């Protein structure tokens, strides 16, 4: 792989029907970079989780809003940024309860963030509610 | 481009089989939720979810399994997850679903599990 950074950008209306398009966007970038299928699946999943959270929580399923997905690829890693201008949240106070506890409480929330943290090497939030919320995720490439 | 997803219902010796096909994400999870809700409302509590044709799942799909399982088990039933392809199985396993659900090879294996009685643990 070449070692200069390549950048890709996608703007989509904030609707869950666009999740398939978003997954295809990152999967195609990963394929072009020659990532193994296992990494591709994890990146697709993490971006899906991130964007589903933005669409449903930050924007409250308001289809007039826009989700921005940026992908940066270099010889070391693929970095994905998901940007919104929705209501934001404090990632430090989102409870990460045990799966068994969630089931007992008949809740299914909080799984998306847990999934992202488990499948990506780095997950960082930069939240400015109502202004700009940015989620940055990194998957380091195996050589 | 919307996500492609469908559910086929059938009955296998008193067990409700929901065969999922396509992509189960935040867009399509409400369809799956509705399908399970219908089974529960009709008093059918032994449910096998056939995932042989399910090519993708995100946490929204996993959340549907989680939100119904306690109610169904309290009523004496269960949800058995069948014929999961490796890519989808990996997602179930990332969150530890194998410790909470019976994930079996196929629908007949689910029938055998139901016939063997309530799940332990």
pLDDT per residue as tens, chain A (143 positions): 556 789 999 999 999 999 999 999 999 999 988 899 989 999 999 999 999 999 999 999 899 999 999 999 998 999 999 999 998 887 777 666 777 777 777 666 678 999 999 999 999 999 988 789 999 999 998 76
Report the alpha-carbon distance of residue B73 to residue A72 in Å, rounded. 46
Residue from B30, B61, B66, B78 whose CB has the most chain A CBs within 10 Å, to mutate: B66
Q: Residues 54 to 83 of A: which have CB under 8 A from any B CB?
A: 55-56
Structurally, chain A folds into a number of domains equal to: 1
CA atoms within 13 A of residue B32's CA, in its CB half-sphere: 32
In degrees to the nearest 10, what's the CA dihedral of B42, B47, B52, B53? 20
Inter-chain residue contact B95 with A104, CB threshold 8 Å: no
The architecture (CATH level 2) of B5-111 comes to 2-Layer Sandwich (3.30)
The pLDDT of residue A117: 93
CATH number of domain containing A136? 3.30.565.10
The pLDDT of residue B17: 98
Provide the residue range defining the domain that includes A135.
Answer: 6-140
Token pair for A48? 């899906």
The pLDDT of residue A3: 65
Residue from B23, B26, B28, B67 whose CB has the most chain A CBs within 10 Å, to mutate: B26
A1 domain residue, yes or no: no
The pLDDT of residue B121: 58
Report the alpha-carbon distance of residue B47 to residue B15 in Å, rounded. 6
Instruction: Kindly report the backbone phi and psi dihedral angles of residue A100, in degrees, each rounded to the nearest multiple of 5, phi listed first.
Output: -60, -40
pLDDT band at B33 (very low <50, low <70, confident <90, very high): very high
Measure CB to CB from residue A102 to each of B1, B66, B99 and give the nearest one.
B66
Instruction: Kindly report the backbone phi and psi dihedral angles of residue B69, in degrees, each rounded to the nearest multiple of 5, phi listed first.
Output: -65, -40
Inter-chain residue contact A115 with B66, CB threshold 8 Å: no
Q: Quick check: A82 and A69 in contact, CB under 8 A? A: yes
Inter-chain residue contact B1 with A119, CB threshold 8 Å: no
Inter-chain residue contact B2 with A20, CB threshold 8 Å: yes
Q: Is some CB atom of chain A closer than 8 A to the CB atom of B63? A: yes
A22 domain residue, yes or no: yes
Nearest CA in chain B to A104: B70
Instruction: Kindly report the backbone phi and psi dihedral angles of residue A18, in degrees, each rounded to the nearest multiple of 5, phi listed first.
Output: -90, 0
Residue pLDDT, tens place only, B64-111: 999 999 999 999 999 999 999 999 999 999 999 999 999 999 999 999
User: pTM of the full predicted structure?
Assistant: 0.92
Rounded to an integer, what is the distance from CA A57 to the centroid of its chain? 13
Inter-chain residue contact A16 with B100, CB threshold 8 Å: no
């Amino acid at each position: 792989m070449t070692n200069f950074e390549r950048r890709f950008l996608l703007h989509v209306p904030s609707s869950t029907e666009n999740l398939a398009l978003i997954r295809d966007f990152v999967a195609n970038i990963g394929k072009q970079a020659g990532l193994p299928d296992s990494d591709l699946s994890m990146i697709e999943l993490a971006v899906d989780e991130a964007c589903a959270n933005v669409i449903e929580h930050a924007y409250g399923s308001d289809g007039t809003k826009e989700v921005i997905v940026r992908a940066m690829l270099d010889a070391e890693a693929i970095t994905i940024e998901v940007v919104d201008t929705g209501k934001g949240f404090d990632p430090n106070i989102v409870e990460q309860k045990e799966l068994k506890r969630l089931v007992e409480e008949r809740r299914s929330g909080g799984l998306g963030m847990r999934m992202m943290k488990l499948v990506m090497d780095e997950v960082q939030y930069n939240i400015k509610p109502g202004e700009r919320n940015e989620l940055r995720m990194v998957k380091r490439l195996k050589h | 481009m919307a996500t492609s997803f469908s559910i086929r219902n059938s009955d296998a010796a008193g067990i409700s089989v929901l065969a999922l096909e396509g992509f189960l994400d935040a867009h399509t999870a409400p369809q799956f939720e509705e399908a399970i809700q219908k089974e529960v409302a009709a008093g059918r509590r032994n449910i096998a979810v056939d995932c042989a044709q399910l090519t993708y799942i995100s946490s929204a799909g996993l959340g549907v399994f989680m939100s119904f399982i306690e109610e169904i088990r309290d009523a004496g039933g269960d949800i058995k997850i069948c014929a999961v392809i490796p890519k989808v199985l990996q997602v179930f396993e990332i969150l530890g679903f194998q410790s909470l659900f019976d994930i079996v090879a196929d629908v007949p294996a689910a029938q055998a599990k139901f016939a063997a009685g309530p799940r332990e643990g």
